[in-house]
Structure formats: C-alpha cells, structure tokens
A and B are shown apart, each in its own frame.
Chain A
Amino acid sequence: MTQHVVSVLMSGIFHASILFLVSAGLQVVFGVQKIFNLACGSFYALGAYVGVSAVQAYAAAGGPAAFFIVPLVLGGLLVGIVGVVIERGLLRFVYDRDETFQLLLTFALVLMLEDVIRLTWGTSPLSTGGMYLVYGQVRILGAAVPVYNLIVIAASLVIAGGIGALLTRTAFGRIIRAAADNREMAAALGVDMRWLYAQVFTLGTVLGTIGGALVIPATAAMSEMGIELIVEAFAVVVIGGLGSMRGALVGALVVGLLRAVAISVYPELEMLLIYLIVIAVLVLRPRGLFGAAATAA
C-alpha cells in the first residue's frame, strides 16, 4: 500500500516539476508583457525534440552514457534562442494592440511550430532509448523510483530557487518586477523596454524548452505533446494565479499530484477533475491563489 502511494506521489511530483518549468515561462512572460503565450507548449515540444536529437548525436559520437544529461540540457538551453527571434520578428509588432490579437498571434505560433517540428523530425515518436535508467533506481519505502526523476525534481527546485533569487536579489529582477508593476513608469525611469521584453520572452522560452528537454528521457517526443501540455500549464497558472511565480510552483504541485492520483484511482476523471478545479478557481477566486486582482467586468 505505502509502496503504491509513494510511487503515485513520486510520479506526480516529477510531472509537477516539469509543469512548473513550462508554467514559470508562461508566468514571467505574462507578468511583464501581459501576453498569455499559448506557444509555451510548443516551446516545450521543441525543447523535447532538440533534447532527443542532442542525446542521439552524443550517443552516436560515443559519449559515455552517464553524462547524457549534459548534451540534453545544452540542447534544451540553446534552442531557447528561438525566443528572441520570435519576439523581435513577430511579437514586438503587436504590443500596442488589443490582447485578443496578441493571443491569436501566439496561436499562430502554435500552428507554425507544430509543422516545423513535423518537418524537421517527422511524425513518429522519438525517444532516447535506454538512457532513462542509466542512473538506476532507488527504493523509497519499497517503491522503485528512477534516479533520473529525482535529478529532474532537484533541477526544477534549483531553477525555482534561481528564479526567486533572480527576481528578488538582482538589479535585473528589480527591473522585471518594476516593469510588471507599471510599465510606463519603468520606461519613464529609463528602462529600455524593447531590450527588457526580448530578454524576458527569451527567459520564458528557455524555461519551456528546458522543461521539454528534461522530460524526454522519461517519455517519447510526439508532435502533439505541445498542444496537450499547454492546457495543463493553463490550469497551473489559473490555479496559482496569473503572473505569480509562487503560484506556478503551488499550481504545478496541485495539478501534477491530482493528475497522478486521479490516474491511479479513477482514470476517467484525470483532466476532468483538473478543469473542474480551474473553473471553481476562476469563478470563486479569479486571481488564483497568489495572483494580483483580476479585472472583473
């Protein structure tokens, strides 16, 4: 019994740490730029595919299996560069438009990136093969937990701490918080908003791509993984509160754990339960657990 509970909890926390990374990317972009980026799921998928390719190339070059995580992370980080291209190439044209247009532009990105992925990597699922269990498993209260999952959970916590420190203890973080609070005032005080927006959007993209790269040894890369994840990340940010990093952390834990429990107890309820909670939160407390006040009608 404990064995079963532990394995459900651990898989929930693993999923939550991935969800946190993608949601954190969504939050930082929404917080500063006020754009709800539907394409964050696509960045996640992009990171996953690049991660698979990097690991496969690494294995083909004869690199030691124990260090496969190095090309994986590097690939995930580097592909985040597309963020700056998309921000400079497309998004900057719509900052003064209604948010509906901004939302639709990110929807256009979803469509485009889905085909970019299909054209580059084909339609069949890709995986990193046996790399997942290279680090072996540990027994926690009788349940076998892959060490790789623990590494990802730890990495996610470190990144969460890193973002927290970045936002609260550095000059860049103060500028981000100032711009999130009042962008006109921040601009008037001499913050170069164009440069800031490029940096923030790239940060958001990198969080998504690194999330995708980290998840991939545990699963397989599929072209639909992006549009499926975005609705979960959406649930996370609604529950946690739009724009809040703490909200992303708590929301990811809620969604990740609930999903794991639902799957093991009553699979039909899986996402249904999560959307019910999302609706309850939106209706009863639209700013989420940690968000700023919502704009009610």
Chain B
Amino acid sequence: MKGRLGLAVAVAAVAAVPYVAPTYHVLLMLPFMAYGVVLLGLNLLFGYTGLVSFGHALFIGIGAYTGAFLTSRFGVRSLEVIVLTAAVLGAVVAAPVALLCVRYVKIYFGMLTLAFGMLFYTFVLKFYRLTGGDEGTPYLRPSLLGFGLNDIPKTDYLTGPYYYYSLVVLVVAAAVMWRVVHSPFGLCLKTIRDNPAKAESLGIGVGRYRWYAFMISAVYAAVGGALLGAPIGNVDPTLAYWTHSGNIVFMTLLGGFASFFGPILGAFVFIYLEDFLKSLAPSSWRLIFGALLAATVIFAPGGLMGLVGRARPRST
C-alpha cells in the first residue's frame, strides 16, 4: 500500500513539473521519460534475466530512425503510428539478432550484442544517401492523437502535449512491465538468471525464455528511441554508437538493477547530473561521470536503490 502511494505521488509530481519548474528543466524531463521506457526493457534483460547487453543502442536507433523516416520521408506524422511501427520494426530486427545472441551468456552475449550494435551504427553512418550519414535525418514534429499541433511554438508543444504524451507512454510501459515481471513468466526469467541448469530441469525452455525477454526489451528500446528522437528534431548515428549502449547500462546500474523502479531513477539522476556537470565543468564532466560509475561499481553495486534499501531494509 505504502509503495503504491509513493508511486502515485511520484507520478503526480512528474505531471506537475510543467506547472512549477522552469522550461529548461521541463525539457530535460523528456529524455528522462524516453530513457525510462528504454531502461524498463533493458532491465528485464539485465536485472531479471541476467544478460547484459552492450548493444541496445541499436534498438534505440531503430526507434529514432523510424520516427525520422516516417515524418520526413513518408509524410506520416502521427506519433501513434510511429510508436507502433518502431515497436514492430524493433521486433523484426530483434528476432534474428536475439536468436543468435541468447545462445550465449555473460561476456560472449555482451560481445555479440556489441557487434550487432556496431554493425547497425556503421550501416547508418556509411550509407549516406539513405540515412544522411553523420548529419542524420530530421525528425519532424509528430502529431498527437490526430491533432497536428503545428501552429503552437515548439517549446509549448514539447512542454505541453508532448510532455504528457511521453508520461502516459512511460506509465503504460511501466504498468505492462510490472505485470510481466510479476507474472509466472517473470518468475521463470528470475529462475533462469539464478540457476539456468535448474530452470532447464524444471522444464523451462531457457533459450526460448531468454529470447522472449530479449524481444520485449528490444521493443521497449525502440519505443523509447521513437520518443527520444522527436524533441531533438534530428536523428544521427551517435544514438546507435557503442558508448550509448554503455551509458544506458550505466544508468541502470546507477539506479539499481535489482529494483523495478531503480533504472527509472537511474535515468533521472543521469540526465540531470549530466546536464548539471556539463554546465559546471564542460571539459571534465566525463571524468566525474567515470569516477561516479567506478565508485558505484566498487562501493554500491546495488545502485541508489540499493543504498536506500540498505538504510531502510523493509521499506517496500
């Protein structure tokens, strides 16, 4: 009950942000919510199934390029269509990739996902005529629920309708994921993470379940990517670069991969800290971020949620 109340307060607080916070901070909430969707999926693979992908930027890239292509090449502006297409394309690309990747675990899984991510990156970078190369492809302002919204200024659009649209997507994505991880399916994934041999002997098809988890996480990443691209207005290959994959794993670890909401907290802290450090120390923010990541790995492998949990052992 207490947890549910806390959640309601958190959602209400996010919904109130456009009314109380300066525009600049409201705009920062947009990537936070997009990454929130991505990380919900990534953590199904990382925290619940025990597979760490170093290539999920590939699916963020697919989602973002889907939005860019549909809006600027095909004249499709509806965000609903974009999100659905991104999810379908994410699944289509992930199906064979996942089939090959889930045959391995640990470092080999990480390497294979990294290789696929870089394959996609070099593809969008080199095939200039198709993708715009390193200049990227514009992501025009999508319409929401059939409303064109082209006549309002960009900032009003982003801090108003687009903001609440993202919030609804995040809440729905979280609700669905909550059902997934608390279903028998989710329990099977945890069993596979903790003891694959035992899971197999209990009749759980380990490879098949890993494939499902990979597919769900890829669809989430693609949807998150579609949300991430619109506020930027331009999609370029750096979205799919391997360091971006590393960053989202960092966010997950920072918030706490062992907790359902940890990765979302991680995305929030990452986005604001990155922004703060970039303005405070433009030439050394990576240094501080790296030190923070090193400190998290060494002293607090459970992330921020792990720290809170240690202080208040029976809170949730």
Contact = CB atoms under 8 A, between A and B. Distances in A.
A112 B297 CA distance: 14
A294 B115 contact: no
A107 B298 contact: no
Given A275-B119, A295-B104, A296-B104, A110 B111 contact: no
Interface residues of A, number: 47
Interface in B176-217: 196, 206-207, 210
B250 A297 contact: no
B284 A119 contact: yes
Contact of B293 (A36, A107, A269, A296): A107
Given A93-B298, A105-B298, A271-B118, A115 B112 contact: no
B298 A99 contact: no
A64 to B, nearest CB: 37
A165 interface: no
Contacts, number: 135
Contacts of A234: 111, 114-115
Given A271-B122, A282-B112, A295-B108, A119 B287 contact: yes
Interface in A216-240: 227, 231, 234-235, 238
A294 B109 CA distance: 11
B122 A104 contact: no
A1 interface: no
A270 interface: yes
Main secondary structure of the interface of A (DSSP, over half): helix
B293 A295 contact: no
A258 interface: no
In the complex, which range does the number of interface residues on chain B fall in? 35 or more
B243 interface: yes
A232 to B, nearest CB: 10
A279 B287 contact: no
B7 interface: no
A14 to B, nearest CB: 22
Nearest to B196: A297
A276 B100 CA distance: 13
Interface string A257-295: 000000000011111100110110011001000000011
B250 A119 contact: no
Contacts of A269: 126
B119 A112 contact: no
Given A94-B298, A271-B118, A279-B112, A108 B290 contact: yes
A270 B287 contact: no
A94 B112 CA distance: 23
- The 7 tightest CB contacts between A and B, nearest first, are A111-B290, A112-B290, A115-B287, A108-B293, A108-B294, A275-B119, A115-B286
